[in-house]
Amino acid sequence: MKTEDYKNQIDWLLTGDPAIVYQTKRDLLHADSQELILDQDKILTEGWGKRLLEKQEENGTWKNTLYSPKFQSTFYSLLLLKNLRAPLSDQIRKAIYLILDKGFYLDYGINLWQSWKRSETCVSGMFLSIMGHFNIDDDRVAKMSQFLIKEQMPDGGWNCRAHKGATHSSFHTTMSAMEGLWEFQKNQKVKSEAIEEALAKSLDFLLQHQLYKSHRTGQIVDYKMTKMIFPPQWQFDFMRFLDYAQEKRISKDTRLEEAIDLIRTKKSSEGFWNQEKLHSGKMHFTMETLGKASRWNTMRAIRVLNWWEGII
């Protein structure tokens, strides 16, 4: 289907939150850059982005904590702002540097726990994706990409429990590391061959598993990975990967066909995609209703299908 075949869906998306409007215009309507700048700025002054920033404390934190509780802490509030695709502001920069100054560790990753003697791989990957999106100009950002490359496992992915003896990569950790490296790489004038090699290896790892299956039995590892949920947090799901794939414009692979078909089967008779799952942790507020038509999932589904079908 062509983008114009989704006219009803796009009209509906354009009545949504500024974060939805911005990404719809950018990815589905290909609006000009000046219009997009104005639309992106509205994420900070209206709707969900404004509500989130209003909850930020004067010292720059949310809930006066850096990482816990999920998903109301400073860390996860920044992750949501990144997923909203908010532009950088002084408030956001202040919060980012609270985590960077407190958490940047000797091994070049992020360690927010006093009892730990090493950085946490998932957190480092997610935080690198935050800093990459907001294009933070700091020498420690590049060093964090080096940490992730060093932590990559022989099978091509990552596992935050590798230091405890894990020998097989985790879907969750792998996705967080891939997003971090990609968000960092996008802003580099000279692309890192080491990062591209790491991303290629991790892509092959996930493709070998058809995104969510055991490489030994072919069975789905966890059915939660096949649910459409927004916003993504630390957990892996198939749409989180496919949205990454369409943005990076990876080479299409037959091992993705089942996941693409899964998107098609989830389309409602009215032409929309529902919010299929909510996170168990407390959120600042609920953006969309479980079981109801989701602008986030509808917008993401259309841009993934347009990429797969060669429309964009």
Strand partners, 62: 65
Contact by Cβ (8 Å): 116, 267: no
Q: For the stretch 29-41, what's the b/e string if a residue is b when 16 or more beta carbons lie within 10 angstroms of its beta carbon?
A: eebeeeebeebbb
122: its two tokens: 């998932």
What's the one-letter identity of residue 119?
A: S
Output DSSP code: residue 112.
-
Average pLDDT of 225-241? 97
Residue 1 has pLDDT above 60, yes or no: no
For residue 307, the one-letter residue type is W
Answer yes or no: are the C-beta atoms of 296 and 275 closer than 8 Å.
yes
Q: What is the mean pLDDT of residues 229-256?
A: 96
pLDDT at 114: 84
Neighbouring residues of 144: CB distance < 8 A, sequence distance ≥ 6: 104, 108, 109, 110, 124, 127, 128, 131, 180, 184
**Per-residue pLDDT at 252:** 93
Site of tokens 């059915």? 223
| Lookup: tokens for 17 | 């939150």
268 φ/ψ angles, rounded to the nearest 5 degrees = -75, 165
With contact defined as beta carbons under 8 Å apart, do 287 and 279 qualify?
no
Q: What is the pLDDT of residue 2?
A: 64
Tell me what pLDDT residue 191 has. 92
Check pLDDT > 60 for residue 312.
no
pLDDT at residue 199 in the model: 98
Q: How far is CA 312 from the centre of its chain?
A: 20
Cis peptide before 238 (omega within 30 of 0): no
Q: How far apart are CA 21 and CA 39, in angstroms?
A: 7
Q: For residues 230 and 303, is the Cβ–Cβ distance under 8 A? A: no
309 phi and psi, to 5 degrees? -90, 5
Q: Which residue is listed with tokens 């999920």?
A: 70
Which tokens in the block code for residue 130? Answer: 């935050």
Q: Looking at residue 88, what DSSP letter applies?
A: P
152-188 confidence digits (pLDDT tens): 999 999 999 999 999 999 999 999 999 999 999 998 9
- In tens, the pLDDT along 15-74 reads 999 999 999 999 999 999 999 999 999 999 999 999 999 999 999 999 999 999 999 999
Task: Give the C-alpha separation, 9 to 23, whole Å.
Answer: 14
3-class secondary-structure state, position 95:
helix
Output the pLDDT for position 190: 87
Which pLDDT does position 310 carry in this prediction? 86
pLDDT band at 144 (very low <50, low <70, confident <90, very high): very high
DSSP 65: B
